[in-house]
Amino acid sequence: MYRVILVDDERLIIRGLSTVVPWAELGCEVAGTAHDGISGLELIRSIHPDIVLTDIRMPNMDGLTMLAAIRSEFPDIQMSVLTAYRDFEYARQAITLGVCRYLLKPSNLDELKEAFRQMVSRLDAMPQLRDEEPEDESVKEAGNHLVKAALAYMKEHCTEQHLSLGEVADHVYVSQWHLSKLLNRETDQSFFDLLGSMRIAKAKEMLKNPSYRIHEIAEETGFSDVAHFSRSFKKITGCTPGEYRNRES
């Protein structure tokens, strides 16, 4: 029996799906349910299901990034979406991120059964496909989506002194280890190298304004002290902050 997780913030939907869908007939069983994206991902990491049926318009959640996170970190999981969100471009992006079916609420039982049959069929074929396929394009697309989202978040928050890999990973719904792997693969840089480069880029702009003192720039760009700032600046640019300011003035 393939294990299924249902994720939807409408408890009535979860209750209906759990009881109305003929799970045994489809070769499936409901292994867990969740009412928001975060707890849904925690459940996925805990149970390692075969199939996920999820809404993508839930409070405090970026639905596309959550789908990308599941696809990238758990590429064997089959996903379908059940949502009231009727947007063609959004649905197209969801499909590129590996979603099997994009179902609109209210969906009838035949549509649901067909979606599960399709996901079960994919799972049945997986042992053979695993031996034959290069990496699925949707997995690459998911990784790209997550890296772009992570870099955007880092750029927005890079001047915060305590910004961590864990915080960014939480923002894009993956583990720290997985995000670190994706960043290295896509950028050839570590999280800390990327963060340092972003901070130095901000510092360069501030150094062009003579009203800012060096220690103020260090503090404003997220460095713990002036010495750390100066070392990092020279490592990346080849000169000290003072030398850079004199050269640019």
Q: Which two tokens stand for residue 172?
A: 């894009």
* pLDDT tens-place string over residues 164-214: 999 999 999 999 999 999 999 999 999 999 999 999 999 999 999 999 999
Structure-token match 């990973």, residue found: 169
What does the alpha-carbon distance between residue 85 and residue 61 come to, in Å, rounded to a whole number? 14
Please choose, from the candidates 77, 39, 44, 33, the residue with its C-alpha nearest in 3D space to the C-alpha of residue 59: 39
State the pLDDT at residue 158.
96
Count the Cβ atoms, other than its own, within 10 Å of residue 93. 17
Count the Cβ atoms, other than its own, within 10 Å of residue 167. 14
State the pLDDT at residue 58.
86
State the pLDDT at residue 134.
66
3-state secondary structure of 43: helix
What does the alpha-carbon distance between residue 188 and residue 190 come to, in Å, rounded to a whole number? 7
Is the CATH number of domain 2-132 3.40.50.2300?
yes
Is residue 142 within 8 A of residue 72, CB to CB? The reply is yes
What does the alpha-carbon distance between residue 21 and residue 205 come to, in Å, rounded to a whole number? 59
Lowest mean pLDDT among 51-60, 132-141, 149-158: 132-141
Please choose, from the candidates 200, 201, 202, the residue with its C-alpha nearest in 3D space to the C-alpha of residue 230: 200
* pLDDT tens-place string over residues 75-101: 999 999 999 988 899 999 999 999 999
Is the CATH number of domain 139-248 1.10.10.60?
yes
Count of all residues that appear for the chain in the document: 249
Domain ranges, ordered by start, for the chain: 2-132, 139-248
List phi, psi (to 5°) of 240.
Answer: -80, 165
